[in-house]
A and B are shown apart, each in its own frame.
Chain A
Amino acid sequence: MDAADADLLDWVPRLRRYARALAGNRDDADDLVQDTLERAWSRASLWRGVADMRGWLFSIMHNLHVDALRRGRLATVPLSEDTPEGIAPPPQAERLAVLDLQAALDRLPLEQREVLLLVALEDMAYADIARTLGIPLGTVMSRLSRGRERLRALLDGAPSAGSGEPVRLKVVK
């Protein structure tokens, strides 16, 4: 009878991993996971019809996170997705040769960060990401593309539109 409970617990480590990357710190991340579990329980009657439990849970988390940002509960400053890349590099970006990955990630617009993390951490199929975030597949692809380029630029400490090979990530076969 408690199979569903066990199942939900099974998802907690992955929810925490994603939340940690999304929120940037442990406390906010675990708050987000906790809210997600509560919301999932309040909709327990829907579990039966959920074919993709992971997508469902991550979608709950996405909505809660967006809500929390809207309410200003989290300290994160969401950047507009439409901010032209390279025009307004974050302060100090020019001076730092390499930002650490977490700091660079935090500077990505939330929309790009979500897609990038679902791909990188969850290996989620693009179509599943589209469903989870409630956006068209094309939007998933454009956010992924921009997120990757932007993250690369942040880590390289260079304006993203710049030419030239990224020194740090240059890989020779």
Chain B
Amino acid sequence: MKETHFHANGQAPEILLSRQKKILDALLQGKNDLDEIARTISTKREDLMRDIEELKARGLIKIQREEREITVLTEEAKRYLETGLPEERLARLLQKTGTIKRGEILEASKSLGIPFLQDEVQPAIMHLARAKAITFINDALQLSSPEKAEQHVSKVRKMLESIEKGETRSVDIDYLKKRKLVETRKQTKIYLSPTAKLLSLNEMGLIREAEVITELTSEIIESGKWKNAVFKEFDLSVEIPAHPFGKKHPYLEFLDWIREILVSMGFEEMKGPHVELELWNFDALFQAQDHPAREIHDTYFVKGGLLGSVADSELLKRIASVHENGWNTGSRGWCYKWDPRRALRLILRTQTTAVSARTLYSRGEGKYMCFSLDRVFRPENLDAKHSMEFYQLEGIIVGPQVTFRNLLGFFQEMARRLGLGEVKVKPAYFPFTEPSVEGFIKHPSLGWIEVFPGGMFRPEMLSALGLRNVNVAAWGIGIDRIAMTVLGIDDIRLLFAQDLEYIKGSKRPIPQSLITYPGTKTTALSDRNI
């Protein structure tokens, strides 16, 4: 380590802030009155107080305080120095008016624009009379000697100006006091004197001014310059520029949290194609081929009229049977001729229930629970409330013991984890569930809103897919609506915002249930160990 800051004889130099160095310079030039030092370095005495205390603490100066009385101008005197003494103004007035009656002086002062107060008139006359500058004719007066007036005024003015500068020599203090132009006050004078240490350091040239660093550089760090330097203080009130950053899209982040919640409840994620056969989207769900939802108003059809394919012809037979006569499920079926070609038509999936159907078909009976969080499509005009493309959160709970009560239990748990509060349920209708249910939550401004549709998959659907001895509780949540509540937006298009400003400015939507310590309402540190 280089130790260049040490002097040859082992004595360290004193590195001082610029202003402290200036104070010492003035002191060493013989100025020891702090008022004078302040004037020398063009600053106010009050601003130097911290510096001199520091210099004293470093053993460079001694400070001596002296209480004493000083004579200062009164407020009245200060005003007279600006506007003129009363007798000065009266003399000016008399020069313009010539002879004038006492009673007309105030009136004349107004018309001539010379400020005069009622109770200034009498003293002004008195002072000019004493100076022998005016003469009286009955109740009128005139300025008989402008010179004498001038002499008197300039004498008083000079005295006032001297007091203002802090000088009292050749001033008739008593006179001024009588006229209430001065008063005495107590003042602490501060005198500095150099210590022996200062004098010796000064002799050796070891009083130095510190370098000010605005930006730290490798050179400053490595050279050790920083040890003898001061860092320029930052102004924290200045507007701070934005830091460039990357971030998740608020809606997609919300969906990530939803995935986390579902996984924590034991659900496995399933996936299926966006371009789907009507078979998986409708027929496998026991939705009759003439069901209104299957018409062009409610379903996007793939252009070109190409048909998809299904390898399992047995599946097609089973689906045909449940539609036509209920097959062996104990159902009447829909009583119509099922058209396999219709089932092979290609559409954009309208519900992720298609994904559930594919999952049930491939996994069969057993005990499992799955979810899908993905996009579906419906012919809607895009506006603040509707979208032709949106996310659905779909799920199934499969098992021989699964009941409708488990479905309601799931709604309750989901609402709790999303912080949605109480759930109310009412009967509903979906072609592929029985019983069917709709769960409502209480929205702060919209009232009860429908967020949890679901039901128990119909046996016709399950049997066709190859499941006989299990129940399936199923639900399909329009997650966009919940997202809008959580994100605090009322335009569904913002979930696919085209404006970067919006995405940058949006806050992160972390579900409260995930960041609140269990069993508490606060987040005390001691809860961390729970």
Whether both chains belong to one complex is answered with no
- A residues contacting B by CB (< 8 A) are none
- B residues contacting A by CB (< 8 A) are none
